[in-house]
Structure 1
Amino acid sequence: MQFFLASPDYNQTHFNLTKIRVHLSNGVAEIYEQHQDLLGKIINNVVDIETTLENKLEKVKYLVQDGVFVVSSKISILSNIEKSETSVYIYAKRIKELNPKNSVDEIAKEYQIKKDLLDKEELKTEPIGILSNSKIYVLRQEVEFLEKAVSLLKSMKA
């Protein structure tokens, strides 16, 4: 199974995966080889992938913001034998790989910088204009995303 993960500033590809687990707003979808074609929306949630390399199970976790995923079975054109292969494509506004090697302090610092920017922007803006201000909207989304990343990393390390 193939896995393609992309955002405006992040791109990742994995091959020979055994399972992809996508956390959606209305439940969890587990994708295996030969899965039916599927389309869904991921709302600021988690994607887990698993692969077996040299008899060792490896897991990678990603946090995605406003992502969509597509599961597609296709016929391979690279060989004479028709064999179907399952591919999963995820496109998101923002992606953060979550693993124990990530520094919680580094992401917490980034969170604090964005939070301070949001607070300053909200103070500068008239109360009636806060809801329609696109800069505040984007900053709020970034703050929520980073807050969730910090929370997930802390729970992984505990």
Structure 2
Amino acid sequence: MTLSPADRAEIDDLLARYAFAIDLRGWDDLRSVFAADAEIDYSGGTQRHAGIENIVEFFRSTAGRVAVTQHLLHTSRVWSTGPDTGAGLTHVTAHHVAAHSPRPAPPSATFTVTGTYTDRFARTPAGWRIIARRLDLLTCVGDPAVLHPDRAQS
């Protein structure tokens, strides 16, 4: 069983919609990316969330802490696991810029991670959706305190 070219194109678009939803702060757009009962596992298992409401709130409360993010999706591979299901791997680089930083941001105001998303997909009546996503980090560069401005020293 293989994915059709149309299925592959829709899943590629799904992955891009995820990145733009985060980077453009379109939190509600995540509802057209993840299934209602989706599960995510970020940060090595310390950030597990299930259900679209919890997933949307996770991204709103984490990515919303920084001034801007930029998610760059690199090599991606998807394959069929059944008539209406699939799986995939996608490499990502995610840049995070501290709140109130000048542009372009200096290195001291940035935090960048690289890693791989491992996804499971399902075709729903509304189109393909992510039903499970795990992020495995490979590298971290910069100041992770950028992600937690509420903990900054005065």
TM-score (normalised: structure 1): 0.30
Q: Name the larger-Rg structure.
A: 1
